[in-house]
Amino acid sequence: MRAPHTPHLPQPRPWSPLTDAEFYALLPYLLPRSPQGRPIRELRARVDAIFHIACTHAPWAALPAHFGKPDTASRYFRRLTHAGLWQRLLHALAEAAPGHPLRAIEHFICRAARRAHRILGLPLILLIRRLDLRRALPGPPWLLPDPLLSETLAAVKIAPPPPGEYGHKTRHARLLATLRRLHRDAAGRRRIPRSVRLAWA
């Protein structure tokens, strides 16, 4: 697994249909049957549709007609998300060798994980931070909640200032101000401007 401190930002890749190797690398993680148990026709095309829309900032309704109905693709995306697909794929990426077929579509997976964040919320952000797959975050990491920093700050013990020491109140006040700023950083921004989110490509 990649060292936790090593930043990793996959290069953006324009969307293209999955190759045979890429699709078969994904296949063990997919849901090949409908909720009623019927095999999904055109499974590969459905996954292509998900990655196509994930590589844009467009709504599902903008999915090109040759991919089929947007509602069909979006429902399958939600099924995969609730089934834990993106978490499993992120773990697989963190452990995959450089030449593994999943590496070739890392950008697609990270972009789809951003969409999944709307459903999965903070637990997905925590996983992404732990795996250090920053491009899967739905915005710049310094503007998003950081539960790991929160845990660190919660363990900090603040001793009262020693009485009678010159300047102790000023130093103590500076320490408290620094901790307050760190707590704000750990909570993340309540709202990230759309232009900033879109620039985090």
Considering only residues 184 and 116, tell me which one the structure prediction assigns the higher pLDDT: 116
**pLDDT for 71-89, tens place per residue?**
999 999 999 999 999 999 9
Neighbours of 112 (CB within 10 A): 23
Rounded Cα gap, residues 31 and 83, in angstroms:
9
Q: Where are the beta strands (DSSP E) in the chain?
A: none
Contact predicate 74/68, CB 8 Å: no
Sign of the CA dihedral with 118 first, then 119, 123, and 129 last: negative
State the average pLDDT over residues 50-67: 96
In the predicted structure, residue 95 carries a pLDDT above the cut 90: yes
Domain range list for the chain: 20-138, 143-201
Rounded Cα gap, residues 18 and 95, in angstroms:
21
In the predicted structure, residue 59 carries a pLDDT above the cut 90: yes
Percent with pLDDT over 90 in the chain = 56
State the average pLDDT over residues 49-62: 96
pLDDT reported for residue 2: 45
- Bridge-partner residues for 39, per DSSP? 33
Question: Of how many residues is the chain composed?
Answer: 201
Element (H, E) at 11: none
Q: Whole-model pTM? A: 0.76
Rounded Cα gap, residues 96 and 184, in angstroms:
35
